[in-house]
Amino acid sequence: MINTNKITFITSAADIHGFVESDLPQVVFAGKSNVGKSSVINSLANQKNLARVGKTPGKTIHVNYFDAEGKELWVDLPGYGYAKVSFEEKKRWARLIEGYFAREQNIALGVLIVDARHEPGELDQNMLEYFRETGTPVAIVANKCDKLKKSELDEARTRVATTLGVGEESVLLYSAEKRMGRDELFRLICTFEKNK
Ligand SMILES: Nc1nc2c(ncn2[C@@H]2O[C@H](COP(=O)(O)OP(=O)(O)OP(=O)(O)O)[C@@H](O)[C@H]2O)c(=O)[nH]1
Ligand SMILES: [Mg+2]
């Protein structure tokens, strides 16, 4: 198991030249802007400020790398789907993501984060395709479940699974704020660590 005290920020890549070269397995966090990617990473790492949590979405388009005790890299991809982003910024996002998937040979697990309250959209489907094309297993994390009533959780899981065309067992009900689902996701992530 990864020691969460030893998860540290490495670097932030603004373009493909900034990507980290490493033979460690990479766990990749992706999702729409503001769904809570950074918050999920912080909850997994038991740290408050490891990944920066934003009040305003879509401001920075960077690939952020974290070192998980020298056993894995965790990769926080820039969020997509923020309405106020210019066409130029969208192109920059696409180049960065395409570059990442084209170059990276060590993607071990995709963690696709969606908002449990909403139906996933076309951009989430596209993101899922990036992982599928590289043959990467994907865990779907339905975050912000604390905003739902208990009675709405099953329905939320079904909605997310159906829309994305995955089995319900691949959808994890999650709350970064309440740490719901945290231990299960952490255990899954740890199964990909190097030298197991
Ligand atoms: N209620 C609730 N709020 C959450 C949860 N996770 C994240 N948030 C809030 O959602 C907002 C966005 O969180 P971030 O972690 O910055 O989201 P992000 O996906 O990394 O956003 P970008 O990096 O801008 O794409 C913040 O105000 C968080 O406090 C959760 O589980 N429950
Ligand atoms: Mg973020």
Domains and CATH numbers, the chain: 4-190 (3.40.50.300)
Q: Whose CA is nearest to atom 3 of ligand 1?
A: 144
pLDDT category, 181, cuts 50, 70, 90?
Answer: very high
Q: Which atom of ligand 1 is nearest to the CA of 180?
A: 31
pLDDT, average across residues 10-31: 96
> Residue 60 C-alpha to ligand 2 middle, in angstroms?
9
Q: Whose CA is nearest to atom 17 of ligand 1?
A: 36
pLDDT single digits (tens) 64-118:
999 999 999 999 999 998 877 888 888 999 999 999 999 999 999 999 999 999 9
- Whether residue 87 contacts residue 43, with contact meaning beta carbons closer than 8 Å, is answered with no
What pLDDT score does 65 carry? Answer: 96
How confident is the prediction for the chain on average, in pLDDT?
A: 93
Q: Best mutation site among 28, 29, 47, 53 for ligand 1, i.e. most ligand atoms within 8 A of its Cβ?
A: 53
Place of tokens 């997310």: 160
pLDDT category, 58, cuts 50, 70, 90?
Answer: low
Q: Which atom of ligand 1 is nearest to the CA of 52?
A: 16
Global pTM reads 0.96
Q: Which atom of ligand 1 is nearest to the CA of 79?
A: 25
CB of 34 closer than 6 angstroms to any ligand 1 atom: yes
Q: Whose CA is nearest to atom 25 of ligand 1?
A: 33
DSSP state letters, 22-86: --S-EEEEEEBTTSSHHHHHHHHHT-SSSSPPPSSTT----EEEEEETTTEEEEEPPPB--TT--
pLDDT, average across residues 43-47: 97
> Residue 32 C-alpha to ligand 2 middle, in angstroms?
9
> Residue 55 C-alpha to ligand 1 middle, in angstroms?
8
CB of 180 closer than 6 angstroms to any ligand 1 atom: no
Asked if residue 54 has pLDDT above 90, the reply is no
